[in-house]
Amino acid sequence: MASSLTTFTDEAKIALDTLSGRAAGLFAPSLRLGVTGLSRAGKTVFISALVHNLIHGGRLPLFEAQKSGRIARAFLEEQPDDAVPRFQYEDHVAALVNDRVWPDSTRAISELRLTIEYESASGWNRMFSAGKLSLDIVDYPGEWLLDLPLLGKSFADFSREAMEMAALPVRADLSEGWRTLAAAIDPNVDADEMTARRLAEGFSAYLRACKLDERALSTLPPGRFLMPGDLDGSPALTFAPLPALAERRPRPGSLQAMMERRYEAYKTHVVKPFFREHITRLDRQIVLIDAMQALNAGPAAMADLERAVTEILACFRPGRGNFLTDLFSRRIDRILVAATKADHLHHESHDRLQAIVRRLADRAVARANFTGADVDVVAMAAVRATREGTVKQGRETLPVIIGTPLKGERINGDTFDGKTETAIFPGDLPEKVDTVFDPSVASPDGGDPAIRFVRFRPPKLERTAEGVTLSLPHIRLDRALQFLIGDHLA
């Protein structure tokens, strides 16, 4: 009796929740915006700047609703998902604005709800819509997304591809230690925990090495090997690809059988829940890429970035007949591929950067067999850390960017102290897009890169006469906003 009562109350509660959820949905439509990118791409900075600019009425001339004065107010509200960590907006903004340091790396999923009250542009809509939009912003690592294709791959497929990739010239030296270790192991030996661990550690060390600055390689799955979160050390994360696997089924009790089971566990306990609970509910998506770093590292890094973007796009809009299609409950209808950190370039190069991203995205769309959603690109800086100026050198006047390089950054043997403002000649991006993708154009021994890349501190914010701090400066953040949410505020 007692138990059926509980059941009844629970069910009634669920029904009520659903009802009130629907009602709330009716009065305040919500839009789920996914923000992703590989680690250090600029996700945290982008979300902080976006929210800060909307809350503080920043200068956003290309964001139509703001420009025409139709936004009455934007404010943070409690997020709808109780089990997802909140995006720590206040901490990140305090770091940026008060301390002028970049926020800490985040490495997991988080969420924030920003509600915008606006006046509709059309009289007709004004009569019917409440003029309120709840924007649920979800920040998650691109590395996790790149796991999606694993769902369609057996352990043997995964092993073969990982081995092939590891042997590519640009990765071969980084993976050598692990490949030697793996080659010496017979997959048919009895399963042994220490062997599994040694292999998993060797494999993760190679993946981590790919991420280092001078290589700037995008990673390959499994994504949690780089960002394990609370699964660190669990069996589902203690496996590695094995070389030269026979097609037949592994002998029960063998190392191969153990690795295969763990690989399957990783898919079941990590990959699937993540997609079901997060990715399939998104409406819009922005994919941030660190094109500046890849450009600095050369064509091999650009090719690698292109492959990562291809795989990321393939996850969002699987074509017909793809096994992923069944997983999706909503449809993402707009995707923005954004190169952030454009403030490292003079504005004359912004369009060139955008052309490079366009080229990268176009090829990725074509290769990913991608259908449906609108894909646009932008070269932007979520937070603009530099100003522009000119410097006279002999008879020439050269364009420079001015900012405070981070402590420890170096140019031509000078090391910066993190306090001194400095003018830097950033170099130009090539006029011809092709050259940055063409391996034959690069100087193979890493000669002078086309652009000189120094990291700057976040900018000092201007204050008005009344002492009010103005919003964070940016480059084309408004264009990104217009594409991502503009139509929902029409």
Ligand X SMILES: Nc1nc2c(ncn2[C@@H]2O[C@H](COP(=O)(O)OP(=O)(O)OP(=O)(O)O)[C@@H](O)[C@H]2O)c(=O)[nH]1
Residues 46-65 that bind ligand X (CB under 6 A): none
How many CA atoms lie less than 13 Å away from 45 in the CB half-sphere? 33
Q: Which is nearer to ligand X, 143 or 260 (CB)?
A: 143
- Helix orientation angle between 169-183 and 193-211, rounded to the nearest 10 degrees: 170
Q: Give me the least distance between CB of 13 and ligand X, in Å please.
A: 36
Binds ligand X by CB under 6 A, chosen from 228, 456, 480, 483: 456
Residues 34-53 that bind Mg ion (CB under 5 A): 43-44
- Token pair for residue 50? 């976006």
- How far, CA to CA in Å, does 56 sit from each of 52, 133, 231, 486? 6, 17, 39, 18
Closest C-alpha to 287, from 323, 315, 328? 315
Q: Give me the least distance between CB of 374 and ligand X, in Å please.
A: 23
Handedness of CA 481, 280, 45, 355 (dihedral sign): negative
Could you tell me which stretch among 24-32, 43-51, 305-313, 436-444 binds ligand X (CB under 6 A)? 43-51
Q: Per-residue x/- mask for ligand X, residues 114 to 143, rule CB under 6 A? A: ---------------------------x--
Q: Classify 294 as helix, strand or coil.
A: helix
Q: Classify 143 as helix, strand or coil.
A: helix
Q: Give me the least distance between CB of 387 and ligand X, in Å please.
A: 12
- Token pair for residue 270? 């990590």
- Token pair for residue 352? 């060139």
Binds ligand X by CB under 6 A, chosen from 153, 269, 455, 488: 455
Q: Does 238 bind ligand X (CB under 6 A)?
A: no
Binds ligand X by CB under 6 A, chosen from 31, 32, 34, 41: 41
- Provide the pairing of β-strand 110-118 with 71-77: antiparallel
Distance between the two ends of the chain, CA-based, in angstroms? 54
Q: Does 310 bind Mg ion (CB under 5 A)?
A: no
C-alpha–C-alpha distance, residues 34 and 46, integer Å: 12
Q: Classify 270 as helix, strand or coil.
A: helix
Q: Does 45 bind ligand X (CB under 6 A)?
A: yes
Q: Does 106 bind Mg ion (CB under 5 A)?
A: yes
Binds ligand X by CB under 6 A, chosen from 59, 107, 269, 452: 107
Residue nearest to ligand X (CB): 102
Q: Give me the least distance between CB of 22 and Mg ion, in Å please.
A: 33
Q: Which residues bind ligand X (CB under 6 A)?
A: 37, 39-45, 102-103, 105-107, 141, 340-341, 343, 381-383, 385, 455-456
Q: Which residues bind Mg ion (CB under 5 A)?
A: 43-44, 106
